[in-house]
């Protein structure tokens, strides 16, 4: 029978650790890939518009019902104003997106976030309206100051 060679595990582990440490800095030096494709840029714009629309839906219902006391058709027209006009204000004035004239359509601004806007507007509007109905003779915050 052949004798087994004794292996010093500590030395072997140290050697492996040194080899791994030499490889790690090489991996960190690899530059991060950034894509500047038109599709990716449009997707970033649409993502920003989506989340702005989500916040706008909740805030417009909160402000329209709680602050101004809109109910019924007034609340509906308030929602339409924020639904149809505010995305253009955000897109062109606040975020200052630049659109190519060949690829630009109004749908690129209006379509991202329509569902989340409507959903959050309805949920927040219904919750605020229901809560305010429990307070007798209260319709809006402006009513307190006038």
Residues 132, 65: contact at Cβ < 8 Å?
yes
| pLDDT digits 0-9 by tens, 129-140 | 998 888 888 777
Q: Which residues have CB under 8 Å from 32's CB, separation 6+?
A: none
Residues sharing a CB contact under 8 Å with residue 142, sequence separation 6 or more, in sequence order = 67, 68, 69
pTM for the whole thing? 0.66
pLDDT digits (tens, 9 = 90+) for 49-58: 889 889 999 9
Instruction: Give the tens place of pLDDT for each residue, 89-111.
Output: 887 788 787 776 766 777 777 78
């Amino acid at each position: 029978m052949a004798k087994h060679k004794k292996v010093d595990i500590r030395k072997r582990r140290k050697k492996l650790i040194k080899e791994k440490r030499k490889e790690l800095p090489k991996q960190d030096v690899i530059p991060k890939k950034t894509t500047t494709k038109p599709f990716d840029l449009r997707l970033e714009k649409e993502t920003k518009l989506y989340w702005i629309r989500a916040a706008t839906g909740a805030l417009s219902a909160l402000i329209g019902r709680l602050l101004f006391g809109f109910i019924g058709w007034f609340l509906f027209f308030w929602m339409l104003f924020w639904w149809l006009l505010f995305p253009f204000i955000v897109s062109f004035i606040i975020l200052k997106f630049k659109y190519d004239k060949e690829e630009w359509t109004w749908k690129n601004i209006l379509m991202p976030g329509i569902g989340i806007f409507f959903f959050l507007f309805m949920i927040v509007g219904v919750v605020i309206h229901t809560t305010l109905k429990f307070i007798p003779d209260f319709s809006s915050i402006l009513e307190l100051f006038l």
